[in-house]
């Protein structure tokens, strides 16, 4: 029976009013490459996709769930997690969202000040939830940092009980290429040379399936 891989990709949008939102520059390209590679390896794929221009075809091997916000993504992951053998959290999820969303477009004349204070609340930690409910599932996360990349990635790997983490510098955002470091739960580190995200995706899928097979036979 084919493995089922649940992949999150793209950014999320946290709306401030009906036309403005908090988001990031994630293109979803890495996530798409993971989906394409997983399908090449005859896996079933469930995609929870944040808003982006990335196009992925829905077919009998690939189920797509479109979402907008981090809360939407969290609910979609919770609903579909039971079907997955492997979870790969490639989405760039907003850590915070506005406490309140204005019903109408916020107008400068209505504020009356040169500054505006925006109160934010923490979003659900999707990958932490997945790891807490993993059972024999394999959980793969991503870490994108502007400094102390490997140190932060190793801490995230341990604190969130991940099986593997993909550590990337900020230059990978919206780029066609990447040179990540794969860090594993057993302490192994695999540094990849700068290459296309498609080739990086192949490494990630291969390693994820390898770990799953190892755990399954234990």
Q: Hey, which residues are catalytic here?
A: 24
Helical ranges in 24-82 per DSSP H = 29-40, 70-80
In order of 16, 96, 98, the CA distances from 117 in angstroms are 12, 15, 11
Separate counts of helices (H) and strands (E) for the chain: 6, 14
Provide DSSP, 96-145. Answer: EEESS--SS---HHHH-SS-----EEEPP-HHHHHHHT-TT-EEEEEEEE
Max CA distance (Å), the chain: 65
């Amino acid at each position: 029976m084919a493995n089922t891989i649940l992949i999150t990709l793209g950014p999320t949008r946290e709306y401030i009013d009906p036309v403005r939102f908090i988001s990031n520059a994630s293109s979803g390209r890495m996530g798409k490459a993971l989906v394409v590679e997983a399908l090449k390896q005859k896996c079933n794929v469930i995609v929870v996709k944040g808003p982006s221009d990335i196009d992925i075809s829905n077919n009998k091997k690939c189920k797509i769930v479109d979402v907008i916000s981090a809360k939407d993504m969290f609910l979609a992951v919770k609903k579909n997690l039971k079907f997955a053998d492997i979870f790969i959290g490639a989405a760039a999820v907003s850590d915070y969202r506005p406490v309140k969303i204005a019903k109408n477009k916020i107008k400068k004349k209505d504020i009356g000040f040169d500054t505006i204070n925006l109160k934010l609340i923490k979003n659900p930690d999707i990958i932490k939830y997945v790891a807490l409910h993993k059972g024999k599932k394999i959980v793969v996360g991503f870490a994108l940092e502007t400094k102390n990349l490997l140190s932060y990635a190793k801490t995230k790997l341990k604190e969130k009980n991940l099986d593997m983490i993909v550590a990337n510098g900020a230059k990978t955002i919206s780029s066609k290429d990447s040179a990540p470091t794969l860090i594993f739960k057993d302490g192994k580190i695999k540094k990849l040379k700068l290459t296309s995200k498609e080739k990086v995706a192949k490494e990630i899928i291969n390693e994820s399936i390898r770990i799953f097979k190892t755990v399954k036979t234990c």
